[in-house]
């Protein structure tokens, strides 16, 4: 079929054969016969007509086949991976990767950078003095073989079709299509080679999916896709209406992860979600026989310091200063630290996670455009969560800033995004449901 007929078929609600999908995706990725405007039109047709289960599997497989795949088969143990759809104060990787490795899982993980209001694990890690994330494939595999864990930036030419399609979606109003998001995320996870994939699908005002029904559908489609392509996959749907962690910023989020691994924040939202995700990984990997045992095991690894020790090992292996896990004052520090005070008394009724993320971006913790530099030291410490009671004049947050101008900007965003009201609001569950 020529490209015109492929577009017409999707536009009219027809179902593609796997061969047709390969022709489109590989033709576009390799500049062989599919022009950019044709792919754009096809993506829009998918936005309106959706994709069947076989179409989506074929799309994802073709995307994976557009580039290299990481071969983890030479590594011992069960290879596990976790993907979060992104959020604010979402520091779970830095906590669960060392915990899962300390429990015996093999964690060979590629992470991303922050963009817009969301943070990225690589930016956070690179706030550790000396730490590198640009390992070669060989260094990556060697490190995982030696210590069981590495978290690095993408190595090799993984899923070039996604890079090209995503840039096009970004400028043609076709990003927010559940099948296109599912194939984009899962193609990258599949190419990274893990046998066990845990998806943390966020919903709420700081998430890609604002409402639960959309998050559920995305989770369902990604789990089905992973299974169709031969992986053990599960999704957790978790709350991202307010920031998950207390700290937002790069060095600050590393600090919070360290404090959790030191058992200094038991019961905090970030700890609860991180432990739960780590437990799912251990159970899915067959390291713990059920979830309850897995939770006990993960908590032990926090209490006995094994998780913290593993994080220090990972820092050292990647060239970072391992003393940071004992002394977080070795992390970059902002010159200005000032509280934002509550203008009134009452209950915190809402904390708009996306806006808090933008306050971080205003300070320099995040980037507005791909490739922008970031400031590792700056960020925000939230003093309250939704449901807390506050007095007028009490700190709502503490801002770590580089200069007065960004401080003022962040302060205003924070005041606008933390709602105070007379009644205690209903609480949302941290983990809403599990999709298998
Ligand atoms: N993140 C991705 O990697 N792909 C999407 O399509 C959306 C979010
Ligand atoms: Ca993230």
Residue 333: per-residue pLDDT: 98
Task: Give per-residue pLDDT as tens, 140-175.
Answer: 999 999 999 999 998 889 999 999 999 999 999 999
- Region 66-93: mean pLDDT is 96
Cβ atoms of 297 and 275 closer than 8 Å = no
What percent of the chain clears pLDDT 70, i.e. is strictly above it?
A: 100
Candidates 181, 183, 189, 210: which one to mutate for ligand 1, based on the most atoms within 8 Å of Cβ?
Answer: 181
pLDDT in tens, 300-338: 999 999 999 999 999 999 999 999 999 999 999 999 999
Residues with CB under 6 A from ligand 1: 166, 175, 180-181, 184-185, 208
Tell me the ligand closest to 87's alpha carbon: 2
Distance 45 CA to ligand 1 centre (A): 18
The alpha carbon of 1 and the centre of ligand 2 are apart by a number of angstroms equal to 40
The ligand 1 atom at the shortest distance from the C-alpha of residue 183 is 6
Domains in the chain (CATH in brackets) are 3-50 (1.20.970.10), 79-325 (3.40.1030.10), 332-421 (3.90.1170.30)
User: Quick check: 370 pLDDT over 90?
Assistant: no
pLDDT at 293: 98
Looking at the DSSP bridge assignments, the partners of residue 395 are 341
Q: Which residues are catalytic?
A: 83, 162, 169, 184, 188
Tokens of residue 355, six digits: 């806006």
CA distance 31 to 149: 37
Q: Which residue among 184, 207, 210 is best mutated to probe the pocket of ligand 1, counting the most ligand atoms within 8 A of its Cβ? A: 184
The pLDDT, as a whole number, for residue 122 is: 96
Report the candidate in 11, 3, 8, 20 with the shortest Cα–Cα distance to residue 50: 11
Q: What is the DSSP-derived secondary structure letter of residue 68?
A: B
pLDDT(115) > 90: no
Give the closest residue (by CA) to ligand 1 atom 7: 181
315/298 Cα distance (integer angstroms): 20
- β-partners of residue 397 are 340, 382
Q: How confident is the model at residue 27 (pLDDT cuts 50, 70, 90)?
A: very high
pLDDT at 358: 96
pLDDT of residue 276: 98
Nearest CA to 125 out of 271, 257, 240, 260 is that of 257
Separation of CA 251 and ligand 1 centre (Å): 25
Contact 330, 324 (CB under 8 A): yes
Residue identified by tokens 């007929």 is 5
């Amino acid at each position: 079929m020529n490209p015109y007929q492929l577009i017409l078929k999707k536009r009219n609600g027809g179902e593609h054969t796997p061969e047709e999908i390969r022709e489109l995706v590989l033709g576009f990725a390799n500049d062989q016969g599919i022009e950019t405007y044709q792919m754009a039109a096809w993506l829009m047709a998918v936005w309106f007509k959706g994709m069947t289960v076989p179409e989506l599997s074929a799309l994802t497989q073709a995307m994976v086949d557009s580039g290299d795949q990481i071969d983890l088969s030479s590594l011992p143990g069960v290879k596990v991976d976790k993907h979060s759809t992104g959020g604010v104060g979402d520091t779970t990787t830095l906590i669960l990767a060392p915990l899962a490795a300390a429990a015996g899982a093999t964690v060979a993980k590629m992470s991303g950078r922050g963009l817009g209001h969301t943070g990225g694990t690589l930016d956070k890690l690179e706030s550790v003095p000396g730490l590198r994330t640009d390992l070669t494939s060989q260094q990556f595999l060697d490190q995982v073989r030696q210590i069981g864990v590495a978290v690095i930036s993408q190595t090799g030419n993984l899923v070039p079709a996604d890079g090209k399609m995503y840039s096009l979606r970004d400028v043609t109003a076709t990003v927010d299509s559940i099948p296109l998001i599912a194939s984009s995320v899962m193609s990258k996870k599949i190419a990274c080679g893990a046998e066990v994939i845990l998806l943390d699908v966020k919903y709420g005002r700081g998430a890609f999916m604002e409402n639960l029904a959309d998050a559920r559908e995305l989770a369902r489609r990604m789990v089905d896709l992973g299974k169709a392509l031969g992986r053990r996959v599960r999704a957790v749907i978790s709350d991202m209406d307010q920031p998950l962690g207390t700290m937002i910023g790069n060095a600050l989020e590393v600090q919070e992860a360290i404090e959790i691994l030191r058992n200094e924040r038991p019961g905090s939202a970030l700890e609860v979600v991180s432990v739960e995700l780590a437990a799912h990984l251990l159970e899915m990997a067959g390291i713990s026989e059920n979830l309850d045992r897995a939770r006990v095991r993960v908590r032990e690894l926090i209490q006995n310091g094994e998780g913290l020790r593993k994080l220090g090992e990972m820092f050292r292996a990647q060239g970072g200063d391992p003393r940071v896990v004992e002394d977080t004052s070795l992390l970059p520090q902002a010159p200005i630290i000032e509280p934002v005070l509550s203008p009134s008394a009452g209950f915190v009724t809402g904390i708009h996670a996306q806006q808090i993320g933008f306050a971080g971006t205003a300070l320099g913790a995040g980037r507005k455009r791909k490739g922008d530099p970031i400031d590792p030291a700056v960020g925000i410490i939230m003093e309250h969560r939704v449901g807390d009671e506050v007095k007028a004049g009490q700190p709502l947050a503490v801002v770590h800033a580089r200069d007065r101008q960004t401080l003022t900007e962040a302060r205003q965003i924070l005041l606008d995004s933390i709602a105070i009201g007379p009644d205690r609001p209903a609480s949302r569950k941290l983990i809403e449901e599990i999709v298998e």
